[in-house]
Amino acid sequence: MVYNWLNKLQDTLFPPRCRLCGGAGAGRRDLCPGCHADLPWLGAACVRCALPLASDGQLCGHCQQQPPAFDRVIAPFRYAPPLDYLVQRLKFHQDLAMGRLLGQLLAETLATLDGPRPAVILPVPLHRRRLAERGFNQALEIGRPLRDTLGIPLEPGLAQRVRPTETQSRLPARQRQRNLRRAYALGAAPLPDHIAILDDVMTTGTTVNELARLLKGAGVTRVEVWVLARTGTQEDGG
């Protein structure tokens, strides 16, 4: 009740504005309908890792040769303009209101999917040193609107990043994989059967695959990966 009343007050005082063109937002979303329609929506993609492909319903070469530890990836968008700008505003400019918009966009896509829902959402943990530098975890910021919309609890304590690593994008793919070994550790809480790992952007998938491997090794039967955007190739960095 109080929450609804506060929402209404906020809408009156600060009506939603499009974060791309400054026009009037649609509903409670800080994007106008035109800019929303023009976002780089992910088209045909690998059924397992969401890598953009020429035709739908296929597995990419990488997933055929070396199936990842996660069961599927949900990504509404390709990591392309202007979505990259929205993500960078959140990540590098502490624009936390952008986290709400991005979380809403992901929640809208997830709400259209059938099938069993994960019991909890695990935002990809940052090492405490990185967290101290940045001041917030972008995956957790995207996760809050997801929790509120979908009613699935966020459990950031399920895993920790125990080893700081060099910025992944500077390393070649093989080295990234080595770099991530034992980078994460599970917390003491019991793990449900079905978990969604949440991150902002998926590039090579090495990070989420490492976490998924750890969860599966601890007995989790189904691990989904939810990201806002997928890069077009598995080679380029970020």
Question: Who's near 82: CB < 8 A, 6+ residues apart?
Answer: 20, 35, 39
Identify the residue among 63, 131, 150, 186 touching Zn ion (CB under 5 A). 63
- Tell the smallest beta-carbon distance from residue 68 to Zn ion (Å): 7
Q: Round to whole Å and give the CA distance between 76 and 58.
A: 17
| Interface with Zn ion in residues 17-56 (CB under 5 A) | 18, 20-21, 23, 32, 35, 46, 48-49, 51
- Tell the smallest beta-carbon distance from residue 19 to Zn ion (Å): 8
User: Binding-site residue total for Zn ion (CB under 5 A)?
Assistant: 12
The reply to whether 227 sits near Zn ion by the rule CB under 5 A is no
Q: By C-beta, is 60 or 131 nearer to Zn ion?
A: 60
- Tell the smallest beta-carbon distance from residue 40 to Zn ion (Å): 15
- Tell the smallest beta-carbon distance from residue 56 to Zn ion (Å): 13
The token pair that represents 167 in the structure block: 């910025």
Geometric angle at alpha carbon 100, from 95 and 106, rounded to 5°: 125
Cα-based distances in Å from 60 to 57, 196, 206, 212, 232: 10, 21, 16, 19, 12
- Tell the smallest beta-carbon distance from residue 18 to Zn ion (Å): 3
Q: Where are the beta strands (DSSP E) in the chain?
A: 72-74, 77-78, 120-123, 159-161, 184-186, 194-202, 222-230
Amino acid at 96: L
The dihedral built from the CA positions of residue 15, 92, 196 and 79, taken in this order, carries a sign that is positive
- Tell the smallest beta-carbon distance from residue 62 to Zn ion (Å): 5
Identify the residue among 26, 60, 119, 120 touching Zn ion (CB under 5 A). 60
According to DSSP, the β-strands at 184-186 and 159-161 are antiparallel
Q: By C-beta, is 29 or 127 nearer to Zn ion?
A: 29
Q: By C-beta, is 60 or 120 nearer to Zn ion?
A: 60
Q: By C-beta, is 50 or 126 nearer to Zn ion?
A: 50
Q: By C-beta, is 71 or 148 nearer to Zn ion?
A: 71
Q: By C-beta, is 11 or 166 nearer to Zn ion?
A: 11
Contact (CB, 8 A) for 41 and 76: yes
Q: Round to whole Å and give the CA distance between 237 and 179.
A: 15
Residues lying near Zn ion in the complex (CB under 5 A) are found at 18, 20-21, 23, 32, 35, 46, 48-49, 51, 60, 63
